[in-house]
Amino acid sequence: MTERAYLDHNATSPLRPVARAAMISALDQPANASSVHAEGRAARARIELAREKVASLAGVEPQAVTFTSGATEANALALSPELEIDGEAVRLDVLLVSAVDHPSVRAGGRFSAERIETIPVDSDGIVDLAAVDTMLAKHSAAGRRALVSVMAANNETGVVQPLRDIAKRVHEAAGVFHTDAVQIAGRLPFNLENSGADLISISSHKLGGPLGVGALIARGENIRAAPLLRGGGQEFGRRAGTENAPAIAGFGAAASQAALDVGNESLRLLKLRDRAEAGVRDVAEDAVLLAKNANRLPNTVCFAVPGIAAETAIIAFDLEAVSLSAGAACSSGKTGVSETLKAMQVAPELAKGAMRLSLGWNTSEVDVARFLDVWKRVYESLGKRAKERAA
C-alpha cells in the first residue's frame, strides 16, 4: 500500500509524539482538576504545566492564558463589546474585522451585525492600512471606541499581516486589538508583545496537538472578557467547565516542541515550499500562484490553473495518496468561491480552481516529490481537458 503524503497542516497537523505521550500519561491518571485529593492535584499540576508551556510560546505570563475548546471559542470570547481593562469596565462600540479573516471572526462574536464593519484588503490579501485609518478616524470623531480583529496569517494563502502597523493605529485611536494567531504560532517566530496585540487566539491542533482545545491569551491580566460559559470558577473565572486535562496536556507538549523547533523549522519548510511552487510552475506554465508578492508563511502554497476545478483535482490527488485542500477546511463541502479570494478580487473562474498545500512538522522532501510527481499526471489529464474546452 502506498504511503500517503499528507499536505494539509493548515487544516489539522498530525499529532506529535510528545503530545500523544503527554495525553496518554494524563488519561492513565483521570481526575477532576478542581478536586483537592492527590489525583485532583496531579491533574491540576498537568494543566498548570501546560499553561506555562503555552504561555512561553506566546511570550506571556501563565495567568494570561485561558484554555478554551478551540480557537473558534477563543475568538468568540475575545470579540465582546464589554471588556474589563485595568479593573475598569470598557464599552466597545464597533467591531472592525478584515475581509480575509476566519469565519468565526467575521461572524462577530457578541457584536450585533449592524455594529460590524469589514476592512478591505488589496489583491495580495494584505489589509488596507489607509482604510483602517479612515474607519478608525470616523468612529473616533463620533466618540465610538473600536475593537479591531485581523488574523495574523491567512489559512488559505499564508499571507502574513502587518500586525504592528495595525496595532499602532488601533491604540492611537484608543481601541483594542485582537488577532487570530492560529496559523502563525509555531510556524514563524511570534509572540504577543511583538505583534502589538492585546488579545490573541491560538489552537492546539494546528501545532500538532489534539483537537478540541485552544486558548485566548491576553496582554497580562489587565484585559478580561466577560465569560461566554458561566458556572464554576475554572480558568480564573474566565471560562466555566471542567478542564479537559488530557487534551490540555497534549496542547502544552505540542506548544513546547513547536517553540523549540520554530527557527530551524521555518527555514526547512520555506525550502520545501519554494521547491513545491517551482515544481508547480515547471509542470504548468499557466499556473497562478496566489498572493505570491506578499510576505507569507513558509509552509503554505495556494495555486490555481485556469479551467481546472479544484474539487476535481483534489479528488485526483486523493486517489493517488496525496492530501491537499480546496480552500479552507472549515468550508469544505460548501459550494462557491472562497471569501478570502473574493476579497482579493481573484477572478471567480480562477478562484474556483484554488488549491492549497500546507506543510508541517512531519513533511519530508519525499512528500513534496510525491506531490509534484502526481501533479504532472493531474495536470496532463485535467489541463488537457481544460484546453480542449477552451478551444
Give the pLDDT of residue 330: 52
| CATH fold match for the domains 5-13+262-390 and 17-257 | no
Note whether 305 and 286 are within 8 A (CB).
yes
Cell numbers representing residue 114 in the block: 449592524
Q: Does the domain made of 5-13+262-390 have the CATH classification 3.90.1150.10?
A: yes
330 is catalytic: yes
Cell numbers 485566548 correspond to 216
Residues 6+ away with beta carbon under 8 Å from 145: 90, 91, 92, 93, 94, 139, 173, 174, 175, 176
Give the pLDDT of residue 86: 81
Give the pLDDT of residue 222: 76
Give the domain 17-257 fold. Aspartate Aminotransferase; domain 2 (3.40.640)
User: Which of 45, 330, 347, 366 is the catalytic position?
Assistant: 330
- Residue spans of the chain under pLDDT 70: 1, 221, 327-336, 386-391
Distance CA 17, CA 47 (A): 19
Give the pLDDT of residue 265: 96
Note whether 185 and 367 are within 8 A (CB).
no
Q: Name the residue among 234, 189, 204, 259 with its Cα closest to residue 48.
A: 234
Cell numbers representing residue 257 in the block: 516542541
Give residue limits of the domains in the chain.
5-13+262-390, 17-257
Ramachandran area for residue 15 (φ above 0: left; ψ -120 to 50: alpha; else beta):
beta
Q: CA separation (Å) from 299 to 70, 153, 281, 311, 317?
A: 22, 11, 17, 22, 19
Cell numbers representing residue 176 in the block: 483594542
Give the pLDDT of residue 383: 77
Give the pLDDT of residue 387: 65
Q: Name the residue among 129, 167, 121, 161 with its Cα closest to residue 146.
A: 167
